[in-house]
Amino acid sequence: MVINLEKCKTIMIQGTASHAGKSLMATALCRIFSDMGYKVAPFKSQNMSLNSCVNESGDEIARSQIVQAMAARVKPIAEHNPILLKPKSDNSSQIILMGKLYADYTVKEYYKTYIPQLIPHIHESLEKLKRNNDIIVIEGAGSPAEINIMDGEIANMYVAKYLKAPVLLCSDIDRGGVFASIYGTIKLLKQEEQDLIKFFVINKFRGNLDLLTDGIKQIERLVGKKCLGVVPFIQDLRIPAEDSVSLEDKRSQGIIKIKVIQLPRISNFNDFEALEWEPEVHLSYTSNPDDLKDCDLIIIPGTKNTINDLSWMKQKGFFSKLRDLKESGKIIVGICGGYQILGEKIIDNAIEGDLDKEFSGLGFLPIKTEFKAYKKTTRQVISRMIGFPQFNGLLIEGYEIHMGEITYLSNAHPLLQIEGELNANKEFDGAINETHNVFGSFIHDFWNNNEFRKKFIQFLASRNNYKNVKVESKSYQEIVEFNIEKLANSVRNNIDMKALLTELGI
């Protein structure tokens, strides 16, 4: 049943800090409202994240809005996340505007030069979503009480004031100081902004709820806001994470040991969640090359700055360690930027750095990467394995997000052939060495391909003589869907939905 409201309703989720549960609360509400029969749209005006994804139109938006669209049962569109900022260094980032590469900027330039150019796209996106939906669930960014940038921010109270949207403030009790964070956040805001906050929620609670009762009553009196509920910590919640803060929480156990090199500018670490969720896999991240010797698979992940992270790997001693491990037969895989690092050379025509330079890669694959122009490939792809005999013929679906073009050098063996309409150009992706223990690909979500992943886990088990290894019976997509339902049920059962609906006028 679909219910159409006469006027689109909006609810905004803000937080006392990053990782306070805003994204998950927005995801839960998208599913709850969808279950009620409403047409729902997620929205985040500006997201700073290196975890992004590509929709059917080739638009790049943050992974969190992709997940929220899944929860809302709608296709993700650029309007769900009109501005995506992808950090390249401590002082510069890349702007993705309406799903397309727009510009690089420094922090000083952003507020003065770029924000005036970006604001109209926020307004246009919201107006389009309002015309086509019953409810918009809006996620803020970080905290609205960052007093050094409050006058120039466009992701929190700017949006709430533009829409006159009621705000639900999320706080994280798991990290401590929850009452101080609620009080401080609200009291640092201007009065008109305080007035927009209608409720607060305490997230990630463990223990006896009775111990919180007196504190909740006191903080309600102090800030003049109602506690909408206390949401318990959900153990082993398998929903793609938004940012690298969540890497601190990652834990997995199993006999098959996989190490992901934690590059300084690691991007799209969601690529490895499907592996992490396998029952027989122990996946962990490391910035120490000595940790690699006892693992069964080494992954070099994507990066927002291939050149800088390549230099970091050399300085840390990863190059010499990986060369030894490769000769011993260890399996080494590179995804996107990691794939480029596996090659013989990278030529940067002042795209990633300030000068034209040539850099030596690991030299494990006979490929060359060249950053020729300020352009970016973003597309969904379907490909077929052709270079790895044990898996040839299997389909690999995913998406590409990368700068730079690959040239195959002599004796190169492509890993995949692109299928479908793109196959008219006889395109290939990836490469594999002659001994089949090193390969790489531009394709993100590589391990989400269920048949390939399960067979690859069994391949690793057989190769290392591990007996009776089991693989996950559910597909990656089924796991995410099941956990969205688990999250929505937890929120539904632990917050005052009647009060929230009354505030929305539903």
DSSP string, 211-248: GGHHHHHHHHHHHT-EEEEEEEP-TT--S--SSGGGGG
The pLDDT score that the predictor gives to residue 372 is 81
Asked whether residue 383 is domain-assigned, the answer is yes
Q: Which residues does residue 259 pair with via DSSP β-bridges, in sequence order?
A: 284, 298
> How many Å apart are CA 245 and CA 266, to the nearest integer?
12
Asked whether residue 63 is domain-assigned, the answer is yes
Q: Specify burial of residue 387 (Cβ count, 10 A radius: 0-12, 13-18, 19+).
A: buried
pLDDT at 250 over 60: no
Domain harbouring 369, CATH code: 3.40.50.880
Sequence-ordered list of residues with C-beta below 8 angstroms from that of 489, at least 6 positions apart, any chain: none
The pLDDT score that the predictor gives to residue 357 is 86
Asked whether residue 243 is domain-assigned, the answer is no
Catalytic residue among 80, 402, 413, 444: 444
Same domain flag for 169 and 311:
no
Report, as an integer, the average pLDDT of 133-146: 96
> How many Å apart are CA 441 and CA 486, to the nearest integer?
33
Same domain flag for 368 and 313:
yes
Indicate whether this model's pTM tops 0.85.
yes
Give the burial string for 456-485 (b: 16+ CB within 10 Å, else e). bbbebbeeeebeebebbeebbeebbbebbe
> How many Å apart are CA 285 and CA 245, to the nearest integer?
13
Asked whether residue 461 is domain-assigned, the answer is yes
Asked whether residue 2 is domain-assigned, the answer is no
Specify whether the CB–CB gap between 440 and 431 falls below 8 A.
Answer: yes
Asked whether residue 290 is domain-assigned, the answer is yes
> How many Å apart are CA 477 and CA 115, to the nearest integer?
36
* Closest to 216 (Cα-Cα) out of 183, 191, 186, 188: 183
Same domain flag for 13 and 92:
yes
The pLDDT score that the predictor gives to residue 426 is 77
Q: Specify burial of residue 240 (Cβ count, 10 A radius: 0-12, 13-18, 19+).
A: buried
Domain harbouring 203, CATH code: 3.40.50.300
The pLDDT score that the predictor gives to residue 327 is 95
Phi/psi-derived region of residue 48, left when phi > 0, alpha when psi is between -120 and 50, beta in every other case: beta
Asked whether residue 119 is domain-assigned, the answer is yes
The pLDDT score that the predictor gives to residue 350 is 65
Specify whether the CB–CB gap between 146 and 48 falls below 8 A.
Answer: no
Residues spanned by the domain of 262 = 256-468
Task: Please tell me the total count of domains within the chain.
Answer: 2
Catalytic residue among 53, 227, 336, 413: 336
Active site residue 121: no
Instruction: Name the CA radius of gyration of the chain, rounded.
Output: 23
The pLDDT score that the predictor gives to residue 5 is 72
Q: Which of 146-160, 349-363, 471-485 has the lowest mean pLDDT?
A: 349-363
Active site residue 123: no
Q: What is the mean pLDDT of the chain?
A: 93
H/E segment holding residue 356: strand 356-360
> How many Å apart are CA 332 and CA 329, to the nearest integer?
9
Specify whether the CB–CB gap between 111 and 149 falls below 8 A.
Answer: yes
Asked whether residue 394 is domain-assigned, the answer is yes
